[in-house]
Amino acid sequence: MIAWLRNPWGRPRGLAVVTGVYVLWSILPVAIAILFAFNSGRSRTTLQGFSFRWFTSQAGVFHDQALQSALTHTLLLAAISVAVAVPLGVTLALGLQRWRGRGSGTVNTMMLLPLVTPEIVMGVALLLLFLKVFPGLGLGTKAQAIGQVTFTLSYVVVIVRGRLVSIGRDYEEAAADLGAPPHDQLLRVLLPLLAPAIIASAAVVFALSIDDFVVTQYLSGDASTTTISMLLYATARGAPTPALNAIATVALLITLATLALAFFVYKRFAGGGDAAVAAVLEV
Amino acid sequence: MATHGEIQLEQLTKQFAEVVAVDGIDLHMPPGEFFTMLGPSGCGKTTTLRMIAGFQRPTSGRIVLDGVDVAQVPPHKRNVNTVFQNYALFPHLDVAGNVAFGLKYLRVTKDEQRKKVAEALDLVQLGDLARRKPGQLSGGQQQRVALARALVLRPRVLLLDEPLGALDARLRKGLQVELKTLQAELGITFVFVTHDQEEALTMSDRVAVMNGGRVEQAGSPREVYEEPSTVFVADFLGVSNLLTGEASADGDGCALRVGERTFRAQQGATGERGEVKAMIRPERIGVEAHSASGDNRLPGLVERAVFLGNSFELHVRVVGGEVMKATMPNDGTGIPVEEGTAVTLHLPPEALRILAPSSSLSEDDPRVASTK
């Protein structure tokens, strides 16, 4: 056994075992949750048979008005977050990359703050902001979108800056040397080279937006601004049936589909160039 | 000869936060010539090139290109192109796309563009690789694409920043010859930056040897090698033996007193008086039998004899304790030598050159040490 694990010429079996155990452990709860979405009984703990009733019956998620509305709202918020956070984040990353003067270090560090701030703190802070400082804006879709952009923006900046640093200034200089004015240096050279990072950050923002509960909950208005994660939470506190698992399964599928799409788009456009971005997407 | 592509640098200076990278240099780069800036890393050659390209803004001074000062013109409006050290080919475009990149700004039709791209690729013998991506090319091929991408725009001046640095020795030799041929054919001024003295000597019409942000000497390869005017140039180009001594008047040359001995020197700054440095190349030293006598001769003991095939390289410890290097051709006429052989070195007056002090003083400058 020890020899099998420690064979220095063979594959790193010890690492493989640890990795395998972790992967199983992390998938297990999700797999069980999905399994019970197909339970024919009402129990979420005892498996009674296989059925699609929690998806297709009158009580199933496909006929659930609240779920339909939550799904639409979740996708709307995700679309807004991507549409605002990605262009804004790319612009900020470009600006920070070029800004070499006093204060650039401070701003760089501050860009990372939303990544480490506890979400509950950010949620409460944003709520106060919308209630006391900008009461005219009101709670609801607008506030939720602004809140999500606020914390997803940092991810875009971090991902795009990482790529910018690895690209360096050489290609821009080469473009300038060949006669390209500044906006062409950006459009013909820098943006195509940044495409993998931009796609990756869009996928990350989309996934973060769909998954987010705390900020979105705090800034929600009426029932029409309920998202899937909020619905899941509310249902779980009430009288949960496998319909809850069915909702979770639907949410999971949307997230996975987004990441898969982003990964394939990335593979197609980047030709497998940037290992770091590929790693983010493959997770 | 070409009538444009002439560069005149006037008191060009670039100061970074605390470092003066280029310290008020004046250089004339004649049209249609292969001009090389040679020097160790940190001598300011690349910064100078980047100022000519427009990537760095001079702190002061003028860059006159064909009579117009372009020092404050942004890089995309200058009629000069660059071959970068790492090539900087656009990885998202294929070879043809890379070469066509700059043609967009020359207002030529699509048909003309295609024609020019094909011509440029033929020029560097890459016609069949037009659809490849840079990542699929070897280093030498990438280098040719970078060259084609710049030359297709017919710049007045082509700037080359150590373009052969990343290639292996055999490829380098081949490309050195090709670059030189290409330059002569096209008649475009090439400004070449390198730290490789052999490259500089074999390719250039003119060489500027730089050190510490200044030009030590500019001239033809032969001039800078055979008539180095400063200690730095003598030391940096090829192998030289340096002697320190007292110079005094002696007819048309000067007499150099080194320790107990006096040598006649007829080359270089023979008007200098007082403590000076003199140099002689190993291949100009005559290696004679120990019994030989006469002027400008110095006895010594062979410490190492390295057989190089067509010659011997001798390290001779001379009276006074210093080691001098001498090259003895293996033409059958030389005396037999091995380690421990006593020999006499002949330093002909017409090969012994008195050097002017360097224009710039640096910490490791031998004169700084000797005056302390």
pLDDT tens for A10-55 read 777 888 889 999 999 999 989 998 998 898 888 888 888 888 888 8
What does the block give as tokens for A222?
């009426």
Least confident of A97-101, A128-132, B203-207: A97-101
Query: Among all residues of chain B, which has the CA nearest to that of A274?
Result: B91
Tell me the C-alpha distance between A6 and B259, whole Å: 70
Tell me the C-alpha distance between A174 and B170, whole Å: 27
- Judge whether residue A241 has pLDDT over 70: yes
Question: Which conformational region is residue A13 in: left (phi greater than 0), alpha (psi within -120 to 50 degrees), or beta?
Answer: alpha
Q: How many helices (H) does chain B have, and how many strands (E)?
A: 9, 21
H helix runs in B28-132, sequence order: 45-53, 95-100, 110-123
Pick A178's closest partner by Cβ from B55, B74, B101. Answer: B101
Give the pLDDT score at B99: 96
| Contact at CB, A188 and B101, closer than 8 angstroms | yes
Give the pLDDT score at B367: 38
Give the pLDDT score at A58: 78
Give the pLDDT score at B141: 92
Cα torsion through B228, B231, B237, B243, rounded to 10: 100
Strand partners, B10: B62
Give the pLDDT score at B207: 96
CB pairs under 8 A between A and B: 64
Q: Apex CA A105: angle with CA A102 and CA A107, to 5°?
A: 95
| Contact at CB, A177 and B75, closer than 8 angstroms | yes
Question: Which conformational region is residue B241 in: left (phi greater than 0), alpha (psi within -120 to 50 degrees), or beta?
Answer: beta
DSSP state of A56: H
pLDDT > 90 fraction of chain B, expressed in percent and rounded: 62
User: How much is the pTM?
Assistant: 0.80
How far does CA B46 lie from the centroid of its chain? Answer: 13
- Judge whether residue A101 has pLDDT over 80: no
Tell me the C-alpha distance between B158 and B162, whole Å: 13
What does the block give as tokens for A139?
């709670």
Indicate the pairing of strand B68-69 with strand B60-65. Answer: antiparallel
The alpha carbon of residue B265 is apart from the nearest alpha carbon of chain A, in Å, by 50
Taking a C-beta distance cutoff of 8 angstroms, is the pair A235, A246 a contact?
no
Give the pLDDT score at A273: 46
At B136 the three-state DSSP class reads helix
- Judge whether residue A117 has pLDDT over 90: no
The alpha carbon of residue B55 is apart from the nearest alpha carbon of chain A, in Å, by 7
| CA-closest candidate to residue B35, choices B238, B183, B185 | B183
Question: Which conformational region is residue B296 in: left (phi greater than 0), alpha (psi within -120 to 50 degrees), or beta?
Answer: left
Q: Which residues of A touch B (CB under 8 A)?
A: 170-171, 173-182, 188-189, 192-193, 195, 271, 273
| Range A69-104 burial, b when 16+ CB lie within 10 A, else e | bbbebbbbbbebbbebbbeebbebbbebbeeeeeee
| Contact at CB, B149 and A178, closer than 8 angstroms | yes
- Judge whether residue A275 has pLDDT over 50: no
ipTM given for this complex: 0.81
| Contact at CB, A174 and B76, closer than 8 angstroms | no
The alpha carbon of residue B66 is apart from the nearest alpha carbon of chain A, in Å, by 18
Dihedral sign, Cα of residue A114, residue A118, residue A119, residue A125: negative
Query: Among all residues of chain A, which has the CA nearest to that of B106?
Result: A179
Categorize the per-residue pLDDT at A261 as very low, low, confident or very high, splitting at 50, 70 and 90. Answer: confident
Q: What are the C-alpha distances in Å from B306 to residues B70, B337, B342?
A: 52, 10, 16
Contacts of B86 in chain A (CB under 8 A): 170
Strand partners, B68: B65
> Mean pLDDT, chain B, as a whole number?
89
Burial class (CB in 10 A: 0-12, 13-18, 19+), B336: exposed
How far does CA B323 lie from the centroid of its chain? Answer: 26
Taking a C-beta distance cutoff of 8 angstroms, is the pair A90, A195 a contact?
no
| Contact at CB, B54 and A188, closer than 8 angstroms | no
Torsions phi, psi for A181 (to 5 deg): -70, 165
Give the pLDDT score at B206: 96
Tell me the C-alpha distance between A39 and B46, whole Å: 72
Contacts of B53 in chain A (CB under 8 A): 173, 177
What pLDDT digit, counting tens, does each position of B1-20 carry? 456 899 999 999 999 988 99
Strand partners, A261: none
What does the block give as tokens for A60?
């199933």
Categorize the per-residue pLDDT at A283 as very low, low, confident or very high, splitting at 50, 70 and 90. Answer: very low
| Contact at CB, B153 and A178, closer than 8 angstroms | yes
Query: Among all residues of chain A, which has the CA nearest to that of B80?
Result: A177
Categorize the per-residue pLDDT at A2 as very low, low, confident or very high, splitting at 50, 70 and 90. Answer: confident
Diameter over CA atoms, chain A:
71
How far does CA B151 lie from the centroid of its chain? Answer: 23
In the chain, the amino acid numbered A198 is I
DSSP state of B367: H
- Judge whether residue A282 has pLDDT over 80: no
Long-range CB pairs of B130-137, under 8 A, 24+ apart, other chains included: B130/B94, B130/B95, B130/B96, B131/B94, B131/B95, B131/B96, B132/B94, B132/B95, B133/A271, B133/B91, B133/B93, B133/B94, B133/B95, B134/B87, B134/B89, B134/B90, B134/B91, B134/B93, B134/B95, B134/B98, B135/A271, B135/B91, B137/B95
Residues 6+ positions from A42 with CB-CB distance below 8 Å: A241, A242
Considering only residues A141 and A243, tell me which one the structure prediction assigns the higher pLDDT: A141
| Contact at CB, B82 and A175, closer than 8 angstroms | no
Taking a C-beta distance cutoff of 8 angstroms, is the pair B242, B369 a contact?
no
Strand partners, B14: B22
Strand partners, B34: B190
Walk across the sheet containing B68-69 and list its strands: B20-29, B7-15, B60-65, B68-69
Give the pLDDT score at A213: 92
Pick B88's closest partner by Cβ from A170, A179, A180. Answer: A170
Taking a C-beta distance cutoff of 8 angstroms, is the pair A243, A59 a contact?
yes
What mean pLDDT comes out for the span A202-208?
A: 90
| Contact at CB, B105 and A179, closer than 8 angstroms | yes
Taking a C-beta distance cutoff of 8 angstroms, is the pair B225, B264 a contact?
no
Q: Apex CA A237: angle with CA A236 and CA A239, to 5°?
A: 75
| Contact at CB, B88 and A171, closer than 8 angstroms | yes
Pick B53's closest partner by Cβ from A171, A177, A189. Answer: A177
List chain B residues with pLDDT less than 70: 1-3, 357-372
Taking a C-beta distance cutoff of 8 angstroms, is the pair B210, B216 a contact?
yes
What mean pLDDT comes out for the span A161-176?
A: 91
What mean pLDDT comes out for the span A212-233?
A: 89
Q: B16, B52, B73, B76: which to substitute to probe chain A, counting the most A Cβ within 10 Å?
A: B76
Burial class (CB in 10 A: 0-12, 13-18, 19+), B68: exposed
Query: Among all residues of chain A, which has the CA nearest to that of B52?
Result: A177
Residues 6+ positions from A88 with CB-CB distance below 8 Å: A149, A153, A156
Torsions phi, psi for B90 (to 5 deg): -75, 115
Tell me the C-alpha distance between B63 and B366, whole Å: 33
B contact residues 147-206, partner A, Cβ 8 Å cutoff: 149-150, 153
Give the pLDDT score at B368: 36
Give the pLDDT score at A1: 66
Torsions phi, psi for A254 (to 5 deg): -60, -45
Query: Among all residues of chain A, which has the CA nearest to that of B51?
Result: A177
What does the block give as tokens for B119?
């011509």
